[in-house]
Amino acid sequence: MKKICFSVIGILCSALMMGQQEAKTIETKITDVTVFMSGAQVSQTGNISLKEGENQIRIAELPAQLDPNSIRVEGNEAFTILGVRHQINYMTDAAQTPRHKILADSLEEAFFKQKEIAGLKDVLSQEKSMLEYNRTIKGENTTLIAEDLKDMADFFRSRLTEIAYKWIELGEKERLNNNEINRIQNALNSMNARRSGNPSEVFIALTAERAANTTLRLSFFVQNAGWYPVYDLRAEDVNSPIAFNYRAKVYQSTGNDWKNVNLTISTGNPTVGGQIPNLLPWYLYEAQAEYKTLELESARRPMIANETPAVAAYDDKVISRVKTSADYVTVQNNTVNTEFKIAIPYTIPSDNVQYDVAMKTETLNASYAYITIPKLDNDAFLKARITDWAQYSLLPGESNIYFKGTFVGKGYIDPAQANDTLDLSLGRDRGISVKRDMLKDFCKNNLLGSKKTTSKAYEITVQNNKRQSVDLIIEDQIPISSSGDITVEVEENSGAIYDSATGKLTWKQVLQPGETIKKQLRFTVSYPKKTVVYGL
């Protein structure tokens, strides 16, 4: 009976010791990273030496913002995974990046230099005080000859001058060193603000039928990363296609540098929920009286077309074509997103700095036209129209526009606003003169019975000062009524395409070199004489 009791106790102790055996920490390397619009999927691998039976594996120095629900451990037939556990290591401070260590060392060196300068200035100050205190080198009743006075004056002048110049030199070094301390301190403060706190770690319990050396792969999702698109558009003239560069600005502050990783840029966003939304009933409500007035006044204001942003042109060096990561990209279209797999290794430090990753370079066929909206701007703008843009999986993003080797400004590509054609502004062209004048002879107010009428008239003049013909689009507008008591009658539009729903007038014209054209628009607004009409 005693032997049986001791056997049971031995088995229980053995099981308890196995459950509490110390985990073996292994080194892993980040090998693959998929960067989403917000967040990143990180995969890292490590070599493990397994013993027969149960093994406890620990992987440390993982990001604090690691999503525990996203942890995935992969291996092979050499072992069987029993369980995975994640925790934050509160006993270890957040790991310093190499950049952080370099800055900390530089700051310490700068503080030492500050003390050194302060010491040298103190020596000079004491030397100057000593000279001033001992400027009388002979007794009061001793007569000094001229040579002694001259030698003493020369000595004091020479030494005090040296002290003054040395003081100035040390003062300048002190100023520069203080600037360097402030710069390093600001950089460290910025990095410390982005540090992700205590690192996390993963414990993996697995069992092996026999001792073996094998590899283990850990993947997880982390939030402190992302990317956004930037586009470069270059056109040499209005007869050439557009060179289109699609770039990603990648950033991360996960606490671990991504060194020579296989990088994939994905247009997906796992942080957006995947639950199908519910379509709720769409109710209409009658507006209150005070809101009706505001709505009418807002509707009576003239419609303003989308403004093309003003840009300042400056010279830009034309750079010859060199290979970028875009030459090593494989594009894979999935059901819900597009992935750009970069075939060359990339390094993205954990410093939250935006790093360029070239994803795609294409030559796009484009048609060109000039557009002017003289009611808003007296310049003409060059517009490129691209019809096959949908195949490039574009996202909303800023664009840098170059024309004839010159930077002409920044634009914004919003595929959601485009239909079958994507319009891009290539900046102003002052080779086309535009003006819009009010024709006072046609502008008048009349009162007929209970009705009041207001007539307006404008003339648009466009001259082509270029040496070649241009396709030109002119846009203007006629006001539209938001009330049945107010009517608008178009009297003249010089053959424009008129959209009665928006009031927009469009003229499409081919202007020959040196040609001048004139377009008129005239309209009359009728309304009850006691009504005040805003926007005319």
3 state DSSP class of 417: helix
> Could you tell me if 398 and 411 are in contact, meaning their C-beta atoms sit under 8 angstroms apart?
yes
Name the pTM for this structure. Answer: 0.59
**pLDDT value at residue 339:** 85
Q: Dihedral sign for Cα 345, 349, 352, 356, please.
A: negative
The whole-angstrom separation of Cα 133 and Cα 156 is 12
What's the rounded mean pLDDT across residues 74-94?
82
- Which of 201-205, 218-222, 297-301, 499-503 shows the lowest per-residue confidence on average (mean pLDDT)? 297-301
> Could you tell me if 380 and 371 are in contact, meaning their C-beta atoms sit under 8 angstroms apart?
yes
pLDDT-above-90 percentage for the chain: 29
**pLDDT value at residue 299:** 39
- More confident site: 147 or 386: 386
Residue 8 has pLDDT above 50, yes or no: no
Altogether, the residues listed in the chain come to a count of 536
**pLDDT value at residue 313:** 32
What's the rounded mean pLDDT across residues 420-424?
79
The whole-angstrom separation of Cα 220 and Cα 503 is 55
3 state DSSP class of 176: helix
**pLDDT value at residue 376:** 92
450-466 confidence digits (pLDDT tens): 889 999 999 999 999 98
Strands 497-499 and 504-511: antiparallel
**pLDDT value at residue 11:** 35
Residue 188 has pLDDT above 90, yes or no: no
Q: Which CATH architecture has domain 433-528?
A: Sandwich (2.60)
489-536 confidence digits (pLDDT tens): 999 999 999 998 889 999 999 999 999 999 999 999 998 888 888 777
**pLDDT value at residue 2:** 38
Average pLDDT over the chain, rounded to an integer: 79
What's the rounded mean pLDDT across residues 369-383?
91
Domain boundaries, the chain: 98-194, 433-528
Q: How far from each other are the two terminal CA atoms of the chain, in whole angstroms?
A: 109
214 contacts: CB under 8 Å, gap ≥ 6: 47, 48, 50, 75, 76, 78, 79
157-169 confidence digits (pLDDT tens): 788 888 888 899 9
How far is Cα of residue 67 from the mean position of the Cα atoms in its chain? 25
What's the rounded mean pLDDT across residues 61-74?
90
The whole-angstrom separation of Cα 72 and Cα 23 is 19
246-283 confidence digits (pLDDT tens): 899 999 988 888 999 999 999 887 876 666 777 777 77
The whole-angstrom separation of Cα 180 and Cα 213 is 50
E-strand ranges in 276-337 read: 314-315, 329-333
What's the rounded mean pLDDT across residues 338-346?
87
Residue 5 has pLDDT above 50, yes or no: no
> Could you tell me if 28 and 223 are in contact, meaning their C-beta atoms sit under 8 angstroms apart?
no
Residue 304 has pLDDT above 60, yes or no: no
3 state DSSP class of 391: helix
What's the rounded mean pLDDT across residues 325-344?
67
Of 43-57, 328-342, 359-373, which has the strongest mean pLDDT?
A: 43-57
Q: pLDDT class for 324, splitting at 50, 70, 90?
A: low
Closest of 44, 54, 4 to residue 24, by C-alpha: 54
Closest of 505, 435, 498 to residue 477, by C-alpha: 505
